[in-house]
Structure 1
Amino acid sequence: MKRKIATVPRLVEGRNKQWYVYFSVLNPMTGKMKPIKVYRGFNECTNLAQKKAWGISLVAELTEKLKAGWSPLDDKEKFIYSDQTEYLNLSKKFNKVRNSVKNTRYYISEYLDSRMVELKPKSFSTYQSKLRIFVNWLDHRNYGEFDISAINYKIIQEFFLFLIDDSNLDRRTIEKYVQILRSYFDFLIKKGKLTDNPVKEIKKPKKLKDMAARPIHDYDMKLLLTHIKEANPQLYMACMFQYYLAIRPGQELRLLKVRDIDVYNHKVVVVDETAKTNRRVIDMPVDLAELVLKYQINRYNRDFYVFSKNGIPGPEPLGHNTLRNRFNKFRDQLNLPSVYKFYSMKHSGGGKLLEAGLTMEEIRDHFGHKSIETTDHYLRRHFGNRNTRIINNFPPPI
């Protein structure tokens, strides 16, 4: 059963023609609704029309204040607030308002509000969904109304044991939970609400079978691209954009527009709205520029998406999974390993740059990584520690 936290303010004409705005709010100390009458401003009105106009404006003011978190009761520990962890179809009348102490759900809502602008929509959705699971788990275990200082290391460990043992999540997902929750508690520390971050020394599950996209071997690459180029030129072009530009296949590739390609100055711009991190300008290799000219992509409307319906640029982008599903179909028809994914084209290009002797800094800049450490981790993960002297000059045993 839903718990009433406040009634909607309404205008009342009282006895002796005394006007006021009436509403009630939940008194957190008694658990009962407390009636509130607001007489402010009515005595200054000289006629009924003025009183009515003032009353309407006062009702609107008080309604918005209640939605924003104001309470007329002198209780600093109780608030009505917008709950970012609730689903969008709940509490419509009060814009997802919720009555509670300033507990985890309150501060997570505040934290999500603070991250909404800086995070990309997809990343924000990830933060929101994982933090929603966390607060719902707290409620289920009767920790939901605990003061935030009581959410300690023991409770955090209990939550992660639930994720690992009951939900059977893999290591990468657990690490994402660790990152998000640690960031949330760092937010509380900066606000002066905590002195220590309880997210530490988290037990992590064993690595499940690695199904991440892998670079494609040269022989398999030739076989795959030969078939794709003949049967689906648009998919072939998408593969080449990934390979040559290290462009991510989701937002960056799917939402690329004709105007973002400067074929004569050999550059492609990934704009802020689609970039995983920030806007970046990517060097466009000569071979890819020639391919763009061959397919005459630069001649289409500059506002068209490069990868649209009917195999040509158009006003609507392809669906989120269209290119990936097409790629997988070719891969499976050729009986190639399932670890070859559409994303593998980006990894394969990185491997070729490494073999060509580019420096770590050059690869970092081309891939749009924020640091050398990120690039080093990426290359080690996909290609190991490559040493051409060992490959070509290892002495024979005898």
Structure 2
Amino acid sequence: MKSTKVLKTWNDIEFKLYVPKKIDSNNKIEVHFSFLNPETGKNKNIKKSTGIDRYASKKIYTEQANTLIEAMIELLTAGWNPISDTYPDYIKLTSQSKTGECIRSWIQLRTLDLENGIIGQEELKTTVFLFNFYSDFLKKNNVYMQKPSHFTVNDINLFMRTMERKRGLSPVTYNSYLYRLNFFYKFLYHERVITYNPCSVAFKYKTKNLKTRFEIFEPEELQMVRELLVSTPNYRDLLIACKFLFEYNIREAEQLRIKISWINWEKGELTIPEKVIERERTINGTKNGLMAKFQLRTDMLDLLEQYIGDKGDESNFLFGGHYKPGAVQRGKQFLSNRWWRFREDFKLSKNLKLYALKHTGNYESLEAVGIEKLSKMARHASITQTQDYVKSKLNREVIKIDGKVGF
């Protein structure tokens, strides 16, 4: 005689273990449950036997059935339709959503961000790595299926410390991972899945005065990078970006907004407006929200003309990908990714950071222009901020008293 036993109830779904009277190649031990068909509005009986050894002992096949049930519950949580064996394109998260479901939705959203050019491939890769690590941590501690509202700042700190220890994170990298985790929980907050973001008060390192934050290029490193960029046509766009950083203090995000029409070829000027439309939003064109006008040197104008050619459509963005201007604005990691590829191609040290060119340019210009003028050129909020960037040079300076009245 066949037997059925309810092994687990989840969200009003009863998962039953079905054991046939006679077990052979045509009669399997199965897990049965009813699922509401969204197309017909009627329940359909679902039968699954994956991973259940029909010839095992009762204890073993019951354990295997329970494992199968847990796997199916996770799939159902993610929106799996066992009738069509498909997933929905979009799942609306609620306050009842489990953390695993939220993580899957977040990765799906960030993948769409990549497709829309909002983030780069490296950012998505880093995000996936972080949340795989986070998922493993939650599963190991049996809380993967808990609601996100279950977690406190202490849980976040424990996870971050665990990752720091296992991965050997530097303070800056630690903070960057915490930032991405915080971004995820902000998303859940705005989706009304949680009412409190546990990352908002989590521990983070103070990196303001870290030496690595203001690391600069040594003269021989700078010369090597310059020569490689000048001699490699496929990196002409990166050469322009590096000159903008080093000579003009134009930040990466600001550069990616530049359109050809912003260049006045007759006056030799580049103007970045106060406000720009970026991905259907009005934002500041510059970091401080003020218009910035730059007098371009002759060598820079010549380089831009060679790069742009006949100047093409003036509405094009200066950095359009494929070593030329284009109609579509590139994602915020575009120049960083170009730098990473350049560094890999020529096997350069990973310690050479793109943004450090801006610090190096300030460092090299300090003696020639003075701290006050340098602060204005860099568009810093205060001289103190400029001093932070050139502190290593100030610390090395020998104090000379030439011209000072003797005692």
TM bracket, shorter-chain basis: 0.5 to 0.7
SS at structure 2 position matched to 1:160: helix
Residue 296 of structure 2 corresponds to: 286
Matches within 5 A, 1:183-222: 184-185=184-185, 191=192, 193-194=194-195, 197=198, 200=201, 202=203, 214-217=215-218, 221=222
Does residue 350 in structure 1 map to residue 362 in structure 2?
yes
Q: Superposition RMSD on alpha carbons, in Å? A: 6.0
Q: Deviations over 1:102-130 (max 9, x none)?
A: 3334556778899998x942497465653
Residue 301 of structure 1 corresponds to: 312
Q: Separation in 2 of the partners of 1:309 and 1:103?
A: 39
Contact residue 364 and residue 372 of structure 1 kept, 8 A: no
Deviation at 1:163, TM superposition (A): 0.4
Q: Which has the larger displacement, 340-349 or 230-239?
A: 230-239
Residue 165 of structure 1 corresponds to: 165
Q: Separation in 2 of the partners of 1:254 and 1:192?
A: 34
Matches within 5 A, 1:309-348: 326=342, 339-348=351-360
Question: What amino acid does structure 2 have at the position aligned with 1:202?
Answer: F
Deviation at 1:144, TM superposition (A): 1.3
Residue 246 of structure 1 corresponds to: 249
Q: Deviations over 1:54-105 (max 9, x none)?
A: xxxxx4999xxxxxxxxxxxxxxx997778xx9xxxx853236599943334
Q: Deviations over 1:144-168 (max 9, x none)?
A: 1224343234433331232012222
Contact residue 13 and residue 34 of structure 2 kept, 8 A: no
Contact residue 270 and residue 296 of structure 2 kept, 8 A: no
Distance 1:393 1:248, change over 3 A: same
Q: Separation in 1 of the partners of 2:13 and 2:345?
A: 64
Contact residue 320 and residue 326 of structure 2 kept, 8 A: yes
Q: Separation in 1 of the partners of 2:170 and 2:302?
A: 40
Distance 1:299 1:198, change over 3 A: closer
Q: Separation in 2 of the partners of 1:296 and 1:149?
A: 52
Contact residue 104 and residue 144 of structure 1 kept, 8 A: yes
Deviation at 1:295, TM superposition (A): 4.0
Question: What amino acid does structure 2 have at the position aligned with 1:28?
Answer: N
Q: Which runs of 5+ in 2 are unaligned?
A: 1-8, 16-32, 43-73
Question: What amino acid does structure 1 have at the position aligned with 2:198?
Answer: N
SS at structure 2 position matched to 1:267: strand
Question: What amino acid does structure 2 have at the position aligned with 1:215?
Answer: I
Q: Separation in 2 of the partners of 1:238 and 1:341?
A: 13
Deviation at 1:175, TM superposition (A): 0.9
Does residue 103 in structure 1 map to residue 115 in structure 2?
no
Q: Separation in 2 of the partners of 1:345 and 1:165?
A: 31
Q: Deviations over 1:351-393 (max 9, x none)?
A: 355542345863553xxx7x669x82x7525544848997444
Question: What amino acid does structure 1 have at the position aligned with 2:297?
Answer: D
Residues paired across the two proteins, number: 319
Question: What amino acid does structure 1 have at the position aligned with 2:312?
Answer: N
Q: Separation in 2 of the partners of 1:114 and 1:219?
A: 43
Contact residue 81 and residue 99 of structure 1 kept, 8 A: no
Deviation at 1:319, TM superposition (A): 9.3
Residue 142 of structure 1 corresponds to: 142
Q: How many percent of aligned residue pairs carry the same amino acid?
A: 15
Matches within 5 A, 1:25-36: 28-32=11-15, 33-34=33-34, 36=36
Q: Which runs of 5+ in 1 are unaligned?
A: 1-25, 39-58, 63-77
Q: Separation in 2 of the partners of 1:140 and 1:360?
A: 52
Does residue 93 in structure 1 map to residue 95 in structure 2?
no
SS at structure 2 position matched to 1:284: strand
Q: Separation in 2 of the partners of 1:389 and 1:349?
A: 17
Contact residue 263 and residue 270 of structure 2 kept, 8 A: yes
SS at structure 2 position matched to 1:166: helix
Question: What amino acid does structure 2 have at the position aligned with 1:244?
Answer: E
